[in-house]
Amino acid sequence: MACVPRTSVVRSLKVNDTGYGSAIFVGDLVDFSPVSYVYAVQREIPVFYGDEGNLSAYPIYSASLPKARQEPAVQMDVTNTCPFICAGDVRVEAISTASMVQFGSVRTIRADTRVKNIRQLLRGLPPK
């Protein structure tokens, strides 16, 4: 699908927080493929053993992503009566992991976020 480029105009944009693998685009984009792998260990007593975080130990990080269903091509004619994409004042609280905020057109997006959460809770009394 070919997109007719237009000029993106944003009066003001305020973003409070941007996560890993995320982006802000003003204008056209061909492909966007953010990837973010998260390994989070929460413990009641914060301790780091030094040999943690081997992502290959968890199949979630190597599993193949399902393919999106290919829809049949649609024949269409688009007439943009205005050569501009205009936005006023935009405020974004947060852009999460492997995502985007964009003013413009994009041909393809393939975002991949994989998260492994491990919680280790104490049993009985904490060590002395």
Q: What is the DSSP letter of 28?
A: -
Report the sign of the C-alpha dihedral through residues 74, 79, 83, 87, in that order.
negative
Q: Which of 18-27, 34-43, 57-66, 117-126 has the lowest mean pLDDT?
A: 117-126
**Where in the chain are the domains?**
7-62+84-120
- In sequence order, which residues have a C-beta less than 8 Å from that of residue 82 and are 6 or more positions away? 6
**Confidence (pLDDT) at 6:** 81
**Confidence (pLDDT) at 1:** 43
Going by pLDDT thresholds of 50, 70 and 90, the confidence category of residue 21 is: confident
pLDDT tens-digit series, residues 39-83: 888 888 888 888 788 889 999 999 998 887 888 888 888 788 888
Mean pLDDT (whole number) for 12-31: 92
